[in-house]
Structure 1
C-alpha cells in the first residue's frame, strides 16, 4: 500500500489516483496510513462526477453515465471525440475508467487519440491498467497505445500494473514493449520494486525474468532484495539472489521516530537486508538470509540484528544469529526504532539506551526466554551497563517504564498491566539469580527500587526490599522510591502516584520523614552543600 501525490484540482482525480511510491523503511508501521490506489480512484471520482462533464461535454457525460446509445448518436452527429474536460481527460479516459469496452471501441473507431493524456500525463491505458482490465488493455494496445508513455512523475503503466498485481496485464504490457527497467522520478523506483512492495509474487517473478533489474537501487538506495526482506517474501528473495542480488545489500536506515511515524532516512546509516527483515517482523525471512550467509554483526544502523531480534520477540532468530557468530554483547549505538510512537518519562531521569546489550534489552522487555538464550546459549555478559551505568536489573524492574506504554513501544491498557508486572517480576528474579547488584546506582542516582515504583503495584518493589534493596536512596531529583510512589511526580506529561506501592514501602520501613521531592533543584542544592563543606573552616 502506498500514499499518493497531491491533488491539483477536482478534475485531476483520474491522474492522482494512480500516483504514489512504495515505502522504503525497515518496518511497515505506516501501512495503516495509506490507501490502495484503486480504492482512492473510486472515492476521488465520486467527488468529481457531478462537475467533471458539464453540458458542453455531452459525449463525456454519456460515457461517464454508461449511456452507449446516446454516445453513438453523438459520435454519428459529428461530436469531437477528443474534446477534453478541464483537466485534459477525454471521453476515452472515462471509457477506460468505467471499463466500458464497447464505448472504447466506438471512440477509437471515431478517431479518438489513444495516447491522449490529461494534465498529469495519465492516459486511458494507465487507467485500464489500474482497473486490472486485460481486455481493455489489449484493446488500447491493439489501437496503438504506447506502453511506455509515463505520467509527469515518470510512472509508467507497467509500474501501475506491478502495484495492482495482475500478472496477465504485466505480461501483456511487456509483450507490447514496456520497459521493465524504467524508474519513476520521485524515488527512482521500478516496476519490480512496486510489485515487491505490494507482495505480488507472480508479477515480481515475471518482471525479474524479463530484465526487471535484480540489483537496481532507488534514489534512497533500496534494492529489490530490501523490498522482499521488508515484505518477508522468501520466494522472490531466492530468485533475486539467483539473479545476482547480494545477501549483504543494505541502504540508509529508514525508521519511524515520532507520533506520525514519518520515514526518517539517515544518510550516515546502513541497514542490511537482514535488519530490514527483522524490523519488519519477518522471522522466516531473517532465518533465510542468515542461512544464506548474511552478516550477523552488521551494525551500520547503530544496532545489530541481535538487538532487533530481541525487540521483535524472535527467540528462534536470536538462536540462529548466535549460531552464525553474532556478538552476544553487541552495544546499541542508536536508539531502537519505536513501533508506534515515542514517549519518554520526561522527568530528567530516563535511562540512556546507548550501550545497551541484547541482554539488557531483553531484561527491559521482561523476556526471560531470550534472556536465558543469550546467557546460557550465547555466553552474554549480564553485568554490562548502558553509557549512564544503568543495569539490566534496573530496566527489568522498570527504570525505563512509561505509564500507558509497554516496553516495545506499543500503547498498553489496564488489561495488559498485570502481564507487564508478571513479565517484569520474572526478569527481575532472573537478574538476581545471575548475581546483579540489587543496590547498584546509575549516573542519575536511580536504583532498581526506583524503577520498581515507576512500574507500580505491590509485586516487584516489596520483593526487592525483601531481597535486601536499600529503601531510602535519593536519586538525582532528590527522590527516594517512597517519595515517587506516595507523593507522585510528573512523568510523560501526566501526574502519577502509586499509593499502594508507597504504602507497601512504608510498611516495610521506608523513611517517610525525609521531605518532599526537591525536583530539578536537588542536584544544585547538593552541589552547593558539597562546595560549602569543602571550604576551609575559619
Structure 2
C-alpha cells in the first residue's frame, strides 16, 4: 500500500512477486489501485491490474480508481482501467459520474476516452441535477465545454435550481466558457423564472426572470455583460427586483459602502450607458407586491418591502432615477435624465425623488419625507396659511394639559401679551419657571411657606 502511494513501480513489482495481495484494502476500503490512480503512477497501475486488482472496487465514500484517475487527468491510466472492465458510468452515492469529474478538471483527452467507452453525456447528479456540461462551464473549462457540446450535451439543460450551463458560467464570470456556450447555441436570454416581476404598472407579472445579463450585472461582471449585449441580450429584461437599470442603481450606492469590484476593465456607469443606448427604458417602475405582515400568502416578501418603522419608505413603484437619487448618485442621475428619465415619477406611496428619495441637497429637496409626513414636524414649521411656528406658552412650561388640549382638538390657551420692549432675555428661563411652579404646588399642600409665584394664567 505504501509503495503504491509513493508511486514506486519497482517496489510494487517486488512486493507482488513476494505474494502481496493486489486486492487488499485499508479500513475505509481504499486499495493500492486507488492510490496508484490518485498519484498518476501508470506503471504501478499496470502491475496491480496484471496481479488481479479490482478496477471497480469503490471505497467507503463511493470513489472508484477510475474516478481518481479522471481527477488526476492521466488518459493512459483511464484507458487501462476501462480496458480492465471499469464502468464509465460509475457514480458516487451523490450521483457524480466519472465524466463529471473529468469535466470539472477540464481534461479533454480523458473526456475522449470516457465518451468513447460509452459514458452518458447528460447524466445528472442525484443531489442538484447538475450535468457534466454545467461542471465544465462553472470551472471555465472552455475546451471541455466544446467537447461535450460536440458529443451532444444539452446546452439548455437545467439543474434542480433552474440554472442552465450558461447561467453557471455567467455567475462565476467565466467569459471564455460563456463564448463557447453561445457559439454552441445557448439562448442568451434564457433565465431563471421568478413569480413576481417589474413592469410599467403595479400588477406583478409572472413572466419576469433573472436572465444571464442580470446575473452578470449583480455580480459586477460588466465586461461579460457587454459580451452578452453584443450577443443579443435583452436590455429591458426584468425580474422580481426590477430592471437591469434598477440593479445598477442598487449596486452603485455611493456613500453606502463599497460596491463589488468589477471583474473586467469596464465599470457600472459604462454599462448603464450601454443599456440605455440599446433601448433600456429609464422610467420602468418596480412592481413588488405589498404583503401585509399579518397575511401569509405563501409569497416571500422581498427585502426592500420589510418595514423598519413608521418612517418606512417602500420602493414599490420606484424608477431607476428614484433609486439613484436616494443614494445621491449624481453621475447616474445625470445619465438617466440624458436618456429621458422623469425625475418626478412618484413611488406607490406618492413620494418622488424631490420629496423623500434622495439626500439633502439632491434636486433642491426642501425637507425629508419623514419630516413632511410627521404632524409635529409640520406644526413646528407652520402652515401655508400661517407660516409662523407654533409658540409655547409664555411660562415655558411643559405641563401635560397643553398637549392634551391639542390632542383632543380643543383650542390651546393663547399666550399672555408680552410687555412692550420685553425680549427673550427679559423672561426667566424655562427651568427657573418650572422650579417656581413646583414650589407653588408644594405651598398649596402646606409644605412650603408663602412666597410670590408668577402668574400662571398662560397655563
Interval containing the TM-score (normalised by the shorter chain): 0.5 to 0.7
- Following TM superposition, by how much is the alpha carbon of 1:66 offset from its aligned partner in structure 2, in angstroms? 4.6
Name the count of aligned residue pairs: 355
Alignment equivalent of 2:332, drawn from 344, 349, 370: 370
Superposition pairs for residues 382-531 of structure 1, below 5 Å? 382-393=343-354, 394-397=356-359, 429=361, 431-432=363-364, 437-439=365-367, 441-442=369-370, 445=373, 473=377
Q: Say yes or no: does 1:380 pair with 2:341.
A: yes
Alignment equivalent of 2:92, drawn from 146, 151, 171: 151
Structure 2 residues not aligned, in runs of 5+: 196-205, 253-267, 290-302, 382-388, 393-401, 412-459
CA distance in 1, matches of 2:102, 2:149: 14
Deviations 1:365-418 (CA, angstroms, capped at 9, x unpaired)? 433221111012x21111234444554354532xxxxxxxxxxxxxxxxxxxxx
Counterpart contact for 2:146–2:184, Cα < 8 Å = no
The higher-RCO structure (CA 8 Å, 6+ apart) is: 1
Alignment equivalent of 2:129, drawn from 188, 199, 212: 188
Alignment equivalent of 2:37, drawn from 96, 104, 111: 96
Deviations 1:20-58 (CA, angstroms, capped at 9, x unpaired)? xxxxxxxxxxxxxxxxxxxxxxxxxxxxxxxxxxxxxxx
Alignment equivalent of 2:276, drawn from 322, 329, 332: 322
Alignment equivalent of 1:309, drawn from 229, 232, 248: 248
- Following TM superposition, by how much is the alpha carbon of 1:346 offset from its aligned partner in structure 2, in angstroms? 5.6
Structure 1 residues not aligned, in runs of 5+: 1-59, 255-266, 336-340, 398-427, 448-471, 481-509, 514-524
Counterpart contact for 1:389–1:443, Cα < 8 Å = no
Counterpart contact for 1:72–1:106, Cα < 8 Å = yes
Counterpart contact for 1:390–1:442, Cα < 8 Å = no
* Distance change >3 Å, CA 170–CA 211, structure 1 → 2: same
- Following TM superposition, by how much is the alpha carbon of 1:186 offset from its aligned partner in structure 2, in angstroms? 1.1
CA distance in 2, matches of 1:533, 1:349: 24
Counterpart contact for 2:241–2:247, Cα < 8 Å = no
Counterpart contact for 1:352–1:388, Cα < 8 Å = yes
Could you state the TM-score of these two structures normalised by the residue count of structure 2?
A: 0.67
Indicate the residue corresponding to 1:517 in structure 2. Answer: none
Higher Rg: 2
When the two chains are superposed, the root-mean-square deviation of aligned CA atoms in Å is: 3.8
Could you state the TM-score of these two structures normalised by the residue count of structure 1?
A: 0.58
CA distance in 2, matches of 1:370, 1:236: 31
Counterpart contact for 1:328–1:358, Cα < 8 Å = yes
Counterpart contact for 1:149–1:156, Cα < 8 Å = yes
* Distance change >3 Å, CA 68–CA 287, structure 1 → 2: closer
| SS of equivalent residue, structure 1 residue 380 | coil
| SS of equivalent residue, structure 1 residue 81 | coil
CA distance in 2, matches of 1:169, 1:68: 23
CA distance in 2, matches of 1:110, 1:529: 102
